[in-house]
């Protein structure tokens, strides 16, 4: 088949330019001193047996991050970002991930730890590799770029091909052509992206002061040179040649075939490609880019995608001879001095022009244009290439190890700047980010079914669970949501079971509510809409409301809902109890926005200082909100005889708001361990009465030190909230943070294997 | 205690005037010829053992409708309305419920069927009663009025009383006073509401042409005259006297004590009143009002409430002697000629004035004023009383039996005018009304937790289930709702499981959607918002859309949601499959609004005729919507070369709309039995894949006669709807109606006992 012609004839350009993208990125855990970490792979990553995202490669210290295939490069990078946050926040605080392909300071060959797993065969295989190549060479890390065209494109090909056999043959043709031309032209990627000019002395005893473009891509690096023994001219030849290398003992197993382009299909055996076709190709020649926090920049990924499309779009069909030439050119490029022009500059320009043609033919976005421009510039300016830039840094007298420590630690710190967010997924709600974090860490296969809707699909072993908004799951019933959404129904049920709820009346019209004023004119009351979940439209009267004030409160509440409640106001402190799977997992006290004086600073200064806390942000992008200095705060101060310029006495607490919402600058104080057990027991029982597994119960308790008893109940329950916020318990102003998302995972997957 | 003083001192007037109201209404099932029906109590009412609402009294033919206690008279009447609809629509089509207290045409004494239940003791008791009073007297029916003050009022009393013992004693004092004064003054109710002036010859052999106010309240009627043997001066005396009557054999059991006022407490034994207090009082002296469809009018209920409050509010404390006097006065009144003035008219006026004082003191609504006025009028105009009005009808030469047939059948027909609604609860959604209907019929205890929110609590035996909107239950999971609410997620899951879904793209901004126009410019497509459930904002392009048309469709879709889908348009007919509990319970075809010509009538005439169908209504208050004659319909006709005045040929179908929504006048055609099993099987499997128990799946099927196979699937699934409408399947334009609400009940209560 002629793929280009097929695409044009069938107007498939839009589908052709889509793809499915995955990245595998290796990196060595390294101590603060730059030594290879000899510690075990962290057990908090769960079992390596299933972990789809965080693996170890040859060595116990060699992390391998694997992004699941994504439909866009943007998505691919979201995953890579997130996995870095997970790894950085989970590994030993004394360690970081080495940013170079060439290893950090290695111990003696014998002390380099091979992967520690239960599987004897797996260990034997690594031991054989160690013997064959030497352990040190196995420690060289890199990036694998997994690419396929989109499912939609393949679907269209299927409908054109008509028979499954033809589709299989077409997909093999397509990816073989891509691979052949890649092998012919990969030297350009090595020129542009080569980033292993140098190694530490512990890696190699030769103390040559020679610099290279890419040790890793050169014979000095770790690669087997069996590529030339494998034909890419047809799928049967490809499979037969790899099988032959295993039979004759050149390769231990098929997977030892480390050609720069590896065709992957269904199942592990290479033979399956013949019957089922190629699903994607793994391109393996990329060095870690130390200037990118993620080891491979988004721009590199864009360039590679365009490069791969061009390898298919071009008319050229590389022969076996061409491929051999390509291997030589790549090796030559790898060994070039970083500051030299490429020996193949002219072909490079020709290639870039061909990429430009692809770009134009497919109407690719301007992002692709930009990376092409950069590549042109780099061909003309070798001193700007990655390898040259590294060398320049080292020529300033800094050692390779010191430079790696600096970069690696700096990259790690980025993951701690906002520990309540997961980079890549910061557009999602915080609770969903935290759940995602835990899922990725534990190796639960995670699919973002709909990130706008906070919709995750979690799979562990055979079991799949769907989660929305962090804790809406299959463990709760459909009706439980609506029970909690309706405050009247919640109260009726709790009351039926004998729990104390505030006495109240429901009204469906302003008129009815106003006619009932005489029921409330001598009481402290709360007027609130029946079904909103966010504290809107609520008025509290701690002293009986005048007719006018009541009328205004009724009007406000009806703005939020078609029905309102007028309830007795209950004196006491409100606590949020979060019940998950029949346990109280957190108790939180929320306090109105406030500052505490020190006798020196003004209120404004105190607010500004308090607002520097890393947990404080704006517009719900942080667990706590910054205290505002607006009209409401000014009035609140005025009532207390203050202005923003007043200087409160040492230890004096000045309130800036009356309401205790976190969203208006309030404080969160974890009280889980301080709460009397009797109240926790009640909260669990109430959740059971409502038949819910996840709920946020708001209890008014005048004195938490006095246990609640049947005769003298010490509480009134005012609300049961569905989908309670979880992040506010994880990152608190005061007290111990509570990881509630992990409890949700434990509820969904009780048999999860942390061994 | 002085209750009036306590209320005034504690400003409890608002609570005092609330109450808890129940009605028990007996009525004889009667044949179209006016004979007592000898058929069995309908088995479709389920088991009488548990039925809280529809019972039989002495005779198998004597229905007893029982409303659960309600907080307002309005609610009480809703229940009474609903129970009448349930009974009228469920009993044999040849039967109706006799509207008079005095029986319809009775067979020989020996042929009157005693209640048929399994419980031997129960049957024996009835047999003893039959022997003691005669079966015929047992057939006299009436109304019992159950009243207590509100829980809130009792709660307040409790807090004033401070000890539970004191509260018990207060509640007994309160209800004893009410009962004593009621017994003293009940003659007024007999004067006003007496409605058994005459009986059929089969009831009594004496052929006197004498008329009475109330045979039922007289010695000619059925009542035991042991009231005088029971003291109402104290709770211990009351209990002791009734127990004594049983001990000496005057009463068979305590429940045989049929005093006009019976105190009821916790449990059946009268002794419990002493320790636990009175909960409510049953007032038993009311005749069926044949002029009210429900046997007792709302105005009667209002008057009775005011009367009872006055019995407490008045200073008078009736002595045993007073009660005896009251009994005599009541008997005298019952035997008075309906057209005579009351012998006690003066006392009557005094009582009405006292009721007016109560009304004023409590600021009761004007409704109460109106019924007082009527009572004054009736004291002055005896010929306007119920008993006199009945006699007047009969003096026109109509027989008692014929008059009963006329009224009874007329009342029954009312329940069939809108068989898709349940009177009393017509403000709720139709699906909820139908569910309520089935629940009431089957004797499932039903509480309207929130009628605004369509929220029911259903209890059968030990099991409680909550239902919202007719089919949102505990059988579905919390997450399943959100899966179905999100069309993208639904499609992803169905696709993962291998089902055919339309290919499509999701966009989160107009810009993104417009940039992708080239993906769709040669296709038939559907542009729709991602998550609305009601067909809003959907544009269908059966031929490729121009850039402008696409742009407009995108804009419309974004008006409904923040994300939109652009999907391939699939040619074929759309069917709605409703799956409940792993079965396809209905398949519906919806057709656009249309009329079929007859060669004579204009389109306007045809529309008007079609709109007379009883299932057609407006604004979702009927299963089908009336066809409109608006601008859209006019344009649609114009496109076909018609106006509203055109006369289509016989058999020609003229479309008035393009869309097939029922809400724009479309037809509903049941296809459940016509659909090939392969599609039903698929629908069930899809529901299982989505892990939902109740869903409405929309499938496009070009040819339902061709089975779907794995090789040649004959469908595409386009949506899975949560909370599918059920009423539209129950009442269809064409085909067989499907009772889906009953299937929901079967799912919730699989062990329900219909024996």
B7-52 pLDDT per residue, tens:
999 889 989 999 999 999 999 999 999 999 999 999 999 888 889 9
Percent of chain B residues topping a pLDDT of 70 = 98
Dihedral angle, C-alpha B522, B524, B530, B535, nearest 10 °: 150
Q: So where are chain A's domains?
A: 3-441, 442-473, 474-502+570-592+667-755, 506-568, 594-665
A352-to-B77, B215, B282, B413 alpha-carbon distances in Å:
84, 110, 96, 86
Mean pLDDT value of segment A429-441: 96
CATH architecture label of B3-429: 2-Layer Sandwich (3.30)
Looking at the predicted structure, is the pLDDT value of residue A420 above 80?
A: yes
The total of other beta-carbon atoms located within 10 Å of residue B162's CB is: 9
Token pair of A170 as six digits: 């077409």
Both structure tokens of A360:
């134009």
- Selected for mutation to probe chain A from B479, B505, B521, B721 (highest A CB count within 10 Å) is B479
Task: Please compute the mean of the pLDDT values over residues A36-43 and round it to a whole number.
Answer: 95
* Three-class secondary structure of residue B530 per DSSP: coil
- Give the CATH architecture of domain A474-502+570-592+667-755: 2-Layer Sandwich (3.30)
pLDDT of residue A754: 61
Read off the pLDDT band of A225 (50, 70, 90).
low
Looking at the partner chain, which of A481, A486, A562 has a beta carbon nearest the beta carbon of B478?
A481
Q: Report the chain B residue with the minimal C-alpha distance to residue A10.
A: B522
Residue A276, class by beta-carbon neighbours within 10 Å (0-12 exposed, 13-18 middle, 19+ buried)? middle
* Interface residue of A482, A515, A516, A693 to substitute, partner B, most B CBs within 10 Å: A482
Sheet holding B463-468, edge to edge: B445-450, B455-460, B463-468
* pLDDT, mean of residues B618-640: 91
Instruction: Give the pair of three-digit tokens for residue A257.
Output: 């075939």
pLDDT, tens digit, 9 for 90 and up, residues B686-729: 999 999 999 999 999 999 999 999 888 999 999 999 999 999 99
pLDDT given at position A397: 83
Instruction: List % helix, strand, coil for chain A (3-state, nearest 5).
Output: 40, 20, 40
pLDDT confidence of residue A206: 67
Round the CA-based radius of gyration of chain A to a whole number and report it.
32
Band of pLDDT at residue A753, cut at 50, 70 and 90: low
pLDDT band at A219 (very low <50, low <70, confident <90, very high): confident
Judging contacts by C-beta atoms under 8 Å, the chain B residues touching residue A518 are 14
Query: Which residues make Cβ contacts (< 8 Å) with residue B730, sequence separation at least 6?
Result: B420, B434, B623, B737, B738, B739, B740, B741
Reported as a pLDDT band with limits 50, 70 and 90, residue A131 is confident
- Segments in A561-671 forming alpha helices (H): 603-611, 631-639
User: Do the chains contact at B449 and A489, CB–CB below 8 Å?
Assistant: yes
pLDDT band at B577 (very low <50, low <70, confident <90, very high): very high
Tell me: pLDDT of A755 over 60: no
Reading the block at residue B684, the tokens are 């069930």
Confidence band for A532, pLDDT divided at 50, 70 and 90: low
Give the residue from A364, A479, A494 with the most B CB atoms within 10 Å of its CB, the best one to mutate.
Answer: A479
Contacts of A301 (CB under 8 A, 6+ apart): A21, A23, A73, A76, A77, A145
Rounded CA separation B449/B458 (Å): 10
Residue A42: the pLDDT is: 94
* Cα B260 from Cα B243, distance rounded (Å): 17
Segment among A114-118, A514-518, A605-609, B600-604 with least mean pLDDT = A114-118
Are the Cβ atoms of A482 and B468 closer than 8 angstroms?
Answer: yes
> Are A336 and A217 in contact, with CB atoms under 8 Å apart?
no
A149-158, A586-595, A719-728: least confidently modelled range: A149-158
Identify the pLDDT of residue A411. 98
- Fold type of domain A3-441: Creatine Kinase; Chain A, domain 2 (3.30.590)
Task: Return the higher-pLDDT residue of B47 and A60.
Answer: A60
Lowest mean pLDDT among A132-136, A278-282, A298-302, A379-383: A132-136
pLDDT of residue A644: 96
Residues in B closer than 8 angstroms to A452, CB to CB, are: 508, 562-563
Q: What are the helix and strand counts (H, E) for chain B?
A: 27, 23
Statement: residue B401 has pLDDT above 90: yes
Which of 3.40.1670.10, 3.40.50.300, 3.30.1490.20, 3.40.630.40 is the CATH number of B503-568?
3.30.1490.20
> Which residues in chain B have Cβ-Cβ distances shorter than 8 Å to A695?
none
pLDDT at A515 over 80: yes
**Nearest chain B CA: its distance from A476 CA (Å):** 5
Instruction: Give which of B717, B335, B667 is closest to B493, Cα–Cα.
Output: B717
CB pair distance less than 8 Å for B478 and A483: no
Q: B664: helix, coil or strand?
A: helix
Listing DSSP states for A134-155 in one string gives -HHHHT--EEEEEEEE-HHHHH
CB A307 within 8 A of CB A183: no
Lowest pLDDT segment from A149-158, A638-647, B21-30, B684-693: A149-158
Burial call B235-244: b when 16+ CB within 10 Å, e when fewer: beebbbbbbe
Nearest to A466 by CA among B697, B474, B481, B475: B481
B452 to A562: CB separation less than 8 angstroms, yes or no:
yes
pLDDT at A70 over 70: yes
Of the partner residues B493, B508, B518, the one whose CB lies closest to the CB of residue A452: B508
User: What was the pLDDT predicted at B152?
Assistant: 86
Give me the mean pLDDT over the B122-127 stretch.
88
Residue B449 is nearest to which of A11, A455, A492, comparing CB atoms? A492
A466 contacts in chain B (CB < 8 Å): 479, 482-483, 489
Of A117-131, A262-276, A468-482, A544-558, the one with minimum mean pLDDT is: A117-131
Q: What is the mean pLDDT of chain B?
A: 93
Q: Do B453 and A486 touch (CB under 8 A)?
A: yes
Looking at residue A742, its pLDDT comes to 96
Of the candidates B525, B544, B99, B414, the residue with the CA atom closest to the CA atom of residue B287: B99
Question: Which tokens in the block code for residue B166?
Answer: 């004191």
Distance CA A23, CA B390 (A): 92
Q: Which stretch of DSSP H or E encloses residue A126?
A: helix A120-133
Identity of the highest mean pLDDT range in A523-537, B529-543, B621-635: B621-635
Closest chain B C-alpha to A529 CA, distance in angstroms: 14
Q: Using 50, 70 and 90 to split pLDDT, how confident is the model at A38?
A: very high
Neighbouring CB atoms inside 10 A of A56's CB total: 22
**Distance to chain A for B453, nearest Cα, Å:** 8
Task: Compute the average pLDDT of residues B670-690.
Answer: 97
Question: How far apart are the C-alpha atoms of B579 and B686, rounded to whole Å?
Answer: 10
- Taking the CA of residue B739 and the nearest CA in chain A, the distance in Å comes to 22
Contacts of B450 in chain A (CB under 8 A): 486, 488-489
Phi and psi at B597, nearest 5°, equal -65, 155
Region of B70 (left: φ > 0; alpha: ψ -120 to 50; beta: rest) is beta
* Backbone phi and psi for residue A101, each to the nearest 5 degrees, phi listed first: -70, -40
> Which one of A478, A489, A691 has the shortest CB-CB distance to B477?
A478
The CATH-assigned architecture of domain A506-568 is 2-Layer Sandwich (3.30)
H or E element at residue B578: strand B573-580
pLDDT at A227 over 80: no
- Evaluate if residue B223 carries a pLDDT over 70: no
From chain A, which residues contact B within 8 Å (Cβ)? 11, 14, 152, 155, 449-450, 452-453, 455, 465-468, 472-483, 486, 488-489, 492-493, 503, 508, 516, 518-519, 522, 531, 562-563, 691
* B472 closest CB neighbour out of A478, A493, A522: A478
Each residue's pLDDT tens digit, B413-428:
999 999 999 999 999 9
Interval B84-116: pLDDT, tens: 999 999 999 999 999 999 999 999 999 999 888
pLDDT, greater one: B118 or B31: B31
pLDDT tens column, A650-660: 999 999 998 88
Q: How far is A457 from chain B (nearest CA, A)?
A: 10
For the stretch A687-697, pLDDT in tens is: 999 999 999 99
Instruction: Evaluate whether A134 touches A109 at the Cβ level (below 8 Å).
Output: yes
Count chain A–chain B contacts defined by CB atoms under 8 A.
105
Two structure tokens written together for A654: 């000045």
Q: What is the reported pLDDT for B533?
A: 60
| Minimum-distance CB partner of A563 among B452, B466, B468 | B452
DSSP secondary structure of A646-667: --PPTT-EEES-SS--GGGT-E
Cα A524-A529-A534 angle, rounded to 5 deg: 100
End-to-end CA distance of chain B: 50
Q: What are the backbone dihedrals phi and psi of residue B342, each rounded to the nearest 5 degrees, phi first?
A: -70, 140
Beta carbons of A522 and B11 less than 8 Å apart: yes
For B151, the closest chain A residue by CA position comes to A503
Residue A286 predicted with pLDDT over 60: yes
In angstroms, what CA-CA distances link A482 with A649, A716, A728, B440, B453? Answer: 49, 21, 24, 23, 9
Residue A743 in tokens: 């409890």
Average predicted confidence (pLDDT) for chain A = 93
Residue A475 to residue B477, Cβ atoms within 8 A:
yes
Count Cβ atoms within 10 A of the Cβ of residue B143 and give its class: 0-12 exposed, 13-18 middle, 19 or more buried.
buried
What residues of chain A lie within 8 A of the CB of B508, using their CB? Answer: 452
φ, ψ of residue A31 in degrees (nearest 5): -80, 165
- If phi > 0 it is left, if psi is from -120 to 50 it is alpha, else beta; for residue A223 that is beta
B466/A483 Cβ within 8 A: yes
Least confident of A83-87, B248-252, B594-598: B248-252
CA B727 – CA B470 distance, rounded (Å): 10
Instruction: Provide CB contacts within 8 A for B43, sequence distance 6+.
Output: B754, B755
Tokens of B328: 């005599």
pLDDT tops 60 at residue B451: yes
High-pLDDT (> 70) share of chain A, %: 98
Among B151, B365, B447, B478, most A C-beta atoms within 10 A, so best to mutate, is: B478
Alpha-carbon gap: B522 to the closest alpha carbon of chain A (Å): 10
pLDDT at A548 over 60: yes
How many percent of chain B have pLDDT more than 90? Answer: 78
């Amino acid at each position: 088949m002629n793929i280009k012609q097929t695409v044009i004839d069938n107007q498939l350009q839009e589908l052709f330019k889509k793809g499915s993208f995955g990245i595998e990125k290796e990196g060595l855990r390294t101590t603060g001193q730059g030594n290879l970490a000899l510690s075990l792979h962290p057990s908090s990553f769960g079992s390596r047996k299933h972990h789809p995202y965080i693996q170890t490669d040859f060595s116990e210290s060699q992390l391998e991050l694997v992004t699941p295939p994504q439909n866009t490069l943007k998505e691919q990078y979201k995953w890579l970002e997130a996995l870095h946050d997970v790894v950085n926040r989970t590994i030993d605080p004394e360690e970081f991930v080495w940013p170079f392909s060439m290893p950090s300071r290695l111990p003696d060959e014998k002390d380099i730890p091979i992967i520690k797993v239960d599987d004897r065969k797996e260990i034997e295989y690594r031991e054989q590799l160690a013997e064959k190549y030497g352990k040190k060479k196995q420690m060289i890390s890199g990036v694998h770029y997994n690419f396929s065209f989109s499912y939609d494109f393949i679907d269209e090909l299927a409908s054109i091909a008509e028979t499954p056999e033809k589709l299989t043959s077409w997909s093999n043709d397509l990816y073989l052509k891509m691979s052949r031309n890649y092998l012919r032209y990969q030297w350009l990627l090595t020129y542009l992206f080569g980033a292993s000019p140098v190694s530490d002395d512990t890696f190699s005893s030769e103390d040559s002061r020679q610099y290279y473009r890419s040790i890793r891509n050169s014979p000095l690096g770790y690669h087997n040179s069996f590529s030339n023994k494998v034909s890419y001219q047809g799928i049967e030849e490809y499979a037969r040649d790899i099988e032959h290398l295993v039979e004759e003992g050149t390769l231990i197993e098929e997977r030892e075939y480390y050609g720069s382009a590896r065709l992957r299909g269904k199942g592990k055996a290479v033979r399956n490609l013949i019957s089922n076709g190629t699903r994607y190709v793994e391109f393996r020649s990329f060095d870690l880019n130390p200037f990118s926090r993620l080891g491979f920049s988004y721009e590199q990924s864009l360039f590679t995608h365009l490069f791969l499309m061009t390898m298919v779009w071009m008319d050229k069909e590389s022969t076996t001879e061409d491929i051999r030439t390509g291997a030589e050119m790549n090796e030559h490029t790898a060994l070039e001095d970083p500051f030299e022009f490429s020996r193949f500059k002219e072909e490079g320009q020709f290639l870039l022009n061909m990429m430009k043609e692809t770009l134009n033919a497919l109407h690719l976005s301007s992002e692709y244009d930009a990376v092409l421009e950069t590549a042109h510039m780099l061909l003309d300016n070798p001193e700007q290439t990655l390898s040259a830039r590294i060398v320049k840094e080292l020529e300033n007298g800094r050692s390779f190890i010191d430079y790696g420590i600096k970069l690696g630690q700096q990259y790690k710190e980025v993951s701690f700047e906002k520990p309540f967010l997961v980079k890549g997924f910061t557009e999602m709600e915080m609770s969903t980010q935290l759940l995602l974090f835990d899922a990725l860490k534990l190796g639960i296969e995670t699919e973002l079914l709909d990130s706008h809707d906070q919709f995750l699909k979690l799979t562990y072993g055979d079991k799949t669970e769907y989660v929305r908004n962090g804790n809406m799951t299959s463990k709760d019933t459909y009706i439980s949501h609506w029970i909690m959404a309706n405050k009247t129904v919640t109260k009726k049920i709790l009351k039926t079971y004998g729990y104390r709820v505030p006495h109240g009346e429901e009204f469906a019209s302003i008129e009815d509510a106003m006619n009932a004023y005489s029921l409330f004119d001598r009481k402290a009351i709360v007027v609130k809409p029946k079904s909103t979940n966010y504290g809107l439209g609520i008025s509290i009267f701690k002293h009986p409301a005048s007719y006018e004030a009541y009328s205004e409160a009724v009007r406000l509440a009806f703005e939020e809902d078609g029905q309102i409640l007028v309830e007795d106001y209950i004196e006491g402190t409100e606590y949020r109890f979060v019940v998950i799977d029949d346990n109280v997992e957190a108790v939180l006290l929320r306090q109105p926005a406030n500052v505490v004086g020190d006798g020196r600073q003004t209120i404004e200064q105190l607010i500004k200082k308090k607002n520097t806390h890393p947990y404080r942000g704006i517009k719900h992008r942080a667990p706590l909100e910054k205290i505002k200095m607006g009209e409401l705060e000014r009035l609140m101060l005025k009532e207390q005889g203050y202005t923003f310029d007043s200087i409160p006495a040492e230890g004096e607490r000045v309130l800036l708001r009356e309401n205790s919402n976190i969203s208006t600058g309030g404080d969160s104080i974890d009280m889980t361990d301080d709460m009397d057990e009797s109240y926790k027991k009640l909260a669990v029982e109430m959740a059971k009465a409502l038949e819910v597994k996840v709920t946020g119960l708001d209890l008014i308790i005048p004195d938490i030190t006095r246990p609640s008893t049947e005769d003298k109940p010490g509480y009134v329950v005012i609300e049961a909230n569905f989908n309670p916020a979880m992040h506010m318990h994880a990152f608190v102003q005061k007290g111990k943070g509570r990881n509630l998302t992990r409890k949700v995972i434990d509820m969904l997957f009780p048999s999860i294997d942390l061994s």
